[in-house]
Chain A
């Protein structure tokens, strides 16, 4: 079964709108990583969160790790067409790294 659940599966937004994707695990995660995959490309590492309640920012992207280390979110402020792609979370639990199914983001100009 899927150890790390990610929602939504798809998100369509107009340029300038915000976007958020969420990951949840039934077990405590040691860490969580976020990757972005552009259409036709390969996953590219964005960031890793390790501490409970950790928040990290990369320009318009804000990453959060829940207090219980069971959930995480990625929020993009004022999306741009360059943000298009699939965003994956990957959490370490039960001794392995589990990838979420990803959220495919489409941005309309």
Chain B
């Protein structure tokens, strides 16, 4: 158990819909990262937040957005969903958000878009 929690574990929805994935970082960690893992693209970095502010952006689509709240939990919003958005979405956290730090991954949310 990494100490990072993600909800829900599984999500099934239809194309065109919008969903919100939630992540609570490890106690004391200020930085949250979101990743998308699919069979054909591997582990893709989406976005990073540090203490409520966006720190780095990766391959995140415009249909996707995220935020980190004052209590440091984070949400990833996926809208106008397409079949290709079906994937495993991981959240990870670290203490300071330095790329030399270990990232602790949550169990992931498996999204299926039908």
Q: How many residues of B contact A (CB 8 A)?
A: 19
Q: Which residues of A contact B100 (CB under 8 A)?
A: 30-31, 48, 50, 92
Q: With A42-B107, A42-B108, A44-B2 in contact, do A88 and B43 touch (Cβ < 8 Å)?
A: yes
Q: Which residues of A contact B56 (CB under 8 A)?
A: 95-96
Whether B45 and A96, one on each chain, are in contact in the complex, defined by CB atoms closer than 8 angstroms, is yes
In the complex, besides A33-B103, A43-B92, A96-B45, 10 extra interface pairs with C-beta distance below 8 angstroms are A30-B99, A42-B106, A44-B105, A45-B103, A45-B104, A48-B100, A92-B100, A99-B43, A99-B44, A99-B45
Report B3 CB to chain A, min CB distance, Å.
12
- Measured in the bound complex, the distance between the Cα atoms of B101 and A30 in whole Å is 12
- Taking Cβ atoms with an 8 Å cutoff, the residues of B that contact A are 2, 35, 42-45, 56, 58, 90, 92, 99-100, 102-108
Report A102 CB to chain B, min CB distance, Å.
6
Contact of B102 among A45, A95, A101 (CB under 8 A): A45
- Measured in the bound complex, the distance between the Cα atoms of B108 and A101 in whole Å is 18
Interface: A7 (CB within 8 A): no
Report A59 CB to chain B, min CB distance, Å.
19
Whether A92 and B99, one on each chain, are in contact in the complex, defined by CB atoms closer than 8 angstroms, is yes
Whether B2 and A42, one on each chain, are in contact in the complex, defined by CB atoms closer than 8 angstroms, is yes
Q: Which residues of B contact A33 (CB under 8 A)?
A: 102-103
Q: Which residues of A contact B99 (CB under 8 A)?
A: 30-31, 92, 95-97
Nearest A-chain residue to B91, judged by Cβ: A42
Q: Which residues of B contact A98 (CB under 8 A)?
A: 45
Whether B58 and A96, one on each chain, are in contact in the complex, defined by CB atoms closer than 8 angstroms, is yes
CB<8 Å pairs between A and B, sample of 6? A31-B100, A42-B105, A42-B107, A44-B105, A48-B100, A48-B102
Q: Which of A33-80 contact B (CB under 8 A)?
A: 33, 35, 41-45, 48, 50
